[in-house]
Amino acid sequence: MPEAGAGPAPGPTGPGPASGRFLIVSPGADPSGPRLALPAGRVRALAPVPALTRVPGAPAALAGLATARGVALPVLDLARLLAPDARPAPPGRMVIAEADEPVGPLVGLLVGRVADLAADPGGAEILDLPGLVAAALPRRDSGGPAGRATPQPPEPPVAQPTVALLALTVAGRPYALPLEDVEEVAGFPGTVTPVPGSGPASLGAMPWRGRVLPLLSLSALLGLGGTPGSRVAVVRGVGLVPERVGPVLRLGPEAIDPVPRALRGGGAGPVAGFARLDGGRTLACILSAQALAGDAERAHAGLGPAAPAATEPVVVIELAGDAYGLPAGAVVSVRRAPDALARVPRAPDFVAGMLTGRGGALPVLDLRRRLGLPPGEADGRRRLVVVEVEGTRAGLLVDGAARLLRLEAGAIRPAPGLLDGQDVAITRIAGLAGGGLLPLIDPAALVGRAEGAVVAALARSGRRAGPPRERPA
């Protein structure tokens, strides 16, 4: 029974075959406390207690998730498995064991101490780990607390396709890049490596995902004045540095114009089209990622762009000091949190209110409350993230919206089976390059329940409401 990184598990009987033997553990650190026997045939390793990623809204017995060989491992608190209302004791060790359903093949078990590995459990109670987990963490319907079905909202209208763009400011002018071509938005490093012999647009190079990332001033690349800013838009393995980056724009096809015929054939340079903003009052050039990457390759003849891997873009948000991800494809806009909202009588506490705007009203969720996190204080960093799922929109109040990040597809895995059917919105977990985990929130789980809760609250108040809708300004 190997210790993670440390060799065989200790015990008077040595590390021989585990059949018919028991690992004696205690939920707490007190040697005089209760002793429990876990069949050693289920134990795979002992390990120090790792850094854990919290899962909001999960059962109390789930202490969090840990990274194990690139996979998210559910970590359970033994004390709370035995008594959900128990105060968790400071864990001393983690036992990695087989638990079967509902958590999956392996689980981490936090214990106060490991006492012995013995052929006879003695007076210790033998633990049925799969049965204990199944009893403490039953699967539930997704219809709401106590099995009550959430009122279903009216069928939403068919959503019109939109074009997603990342807004840029270059020399004081509006530009945009197709969001699907942006691999990541990163901070400009404190120091960069000079690239001898590079062109005037070169700002140097920085390490990125184990590769060398060329950095170019977008204003210099376009032949404009202006100075680079503090954010880097990574496009086809090249870092483009404009004055400002963001927000993400979502426009209907009617707001996108092609390059005029007179400018085609090279006269438009890296311009791939034009986007009409603010009702047509502002025209933003849509840049061609392919053309910019070619310009960048010529500017850094010795480096060349790195081939991009298959990735998925997410918007990283902050809640209660932790980072979470939202699929960028579902994010319509990110803006400052509103100062006031229209209250919805008798709505659940996670419904912060309604935001009125052109085209209808938008239900707004306090995402901290929706995920079971402690309430926070409103400050200048708070943001409203508007998401859309199958034509229905809702606003999410978050502590901050940090950046756009492209995750390598191979680093994203389904959340452990423990969370299936639970009233949580974490459906996938992404492994980060630094070894951490980023829980990914499913907007569909939020929007469907939000609209249903608002419709039900309005019905209880004797009012009628159609499906809340909002159109971009």
Q: How far apart are CA 157 and CA 149, in angstroms?
A: 23
Judge if 262 and 352 occupy the same domain.
no
Is residue 180 domain-shared with residue 277, that is, in the same domain?
Answer: yes
Strand partners, 109: 76, 95
Asked if residue 212 is part of any domain, the answer here is yes
Quick check: is 305 in a domain? no
Burial of 82 (0-12, 13-18, 19+ CB in 10 A): middle
Residues 332 and 374 in one domain: yes
Please check whether residues 318 and 445 belong to one and the same domain.
yes
Write the single-letter amino acid at 73.
L
Measured in whole angstroms, the distance separating CA 319 from the mean position of its chain's CA atoms is 11
Look at residues 299, 320, 336 and tell me which one is the last residue of a structural domain. 299
pLDDT attached to residue 473 = 38
Q: Would 117 be classed as within a structural domain?
A: yes
Residue 100 structure tokens:
């079967």
Q: Which amino acid is at 229?
A: G
Task: Give the integer Cα–Cα distance in Å for 69 and 1.
Answer: 17
Q: Mean pLDDT of successive 10-residue segments in the chain (473 residues)?
A: 41 42 82 82 83 76 76 82 74 81 71 83 82 66 42 50 85 88 85 76 81 84 80 86 87 83 58 83 84 63 50 86 88 86 83 76 86 79 86 87 78 69 71 81 79 66 47 40
pLDDT for residue 222: 82
Cβ–Cβ contacts within 10 Å for residue 29, how many? Answer: 13
Would you say residue 473 lies in a domain? Answer: no
What pLDDT, on a 0 to 100 scale, did the predictor assign at position 13? 33
Q: Which domain holds residue 251?
A: 163-299
pLDDT of residue 88: 67
**Based on the structure, what is the number of domains in the chain?**
3
Q: Distances in Å between the alpha carbon of 67 and those of 94, 327, 410? A: 13, 21, 15
Q: What CA–CA distance (Å, rounded) separates 195 from 314?
A: 31
Cα separation, 466 vs 249, in Å, equals 26
- If asked whether residues 345 and 453 sit together in one domain, one would say yes
Q: Which amino acid is at 244?
A: R
* Helix/strand/coil for 371: coil
Residue 470 included in any domain: no
| pLDDT at residue number 340 | 85
Q: Is residue 155 part of a domain?
A: no
Residue 93 lies in a domain: yes
* Cβ pair 126, 39 in contact under 8 A: yes
Check whether residue 441 and residue 352 sit in a common domain: yes
Identify whether residues 183 and 120 lie together within a single domain. no
* Strands in 48-172 per DSSP E: 62-68, 71-77, 93-98, 106-111, 113-118, 125-126, 163-170
Q: Identify the CA nearest to 37 among candidates 119, 131, 98.
A: 119
Cβ burial of 115 (10 Å; 0-12, 13-18, 19+) is middle
| Burial of residue 369 (number of CB atoms within 10 Å: 0-12, 13-18, 19+) | middle
Clarify whether residues 214 and 77 are in a common domain. Answer: no
Phi, psi values for residue 423, rounded to 5°: -85, 60
Taking the CB of residue 358, how many other CB atoms lie within 10 A of it?
8
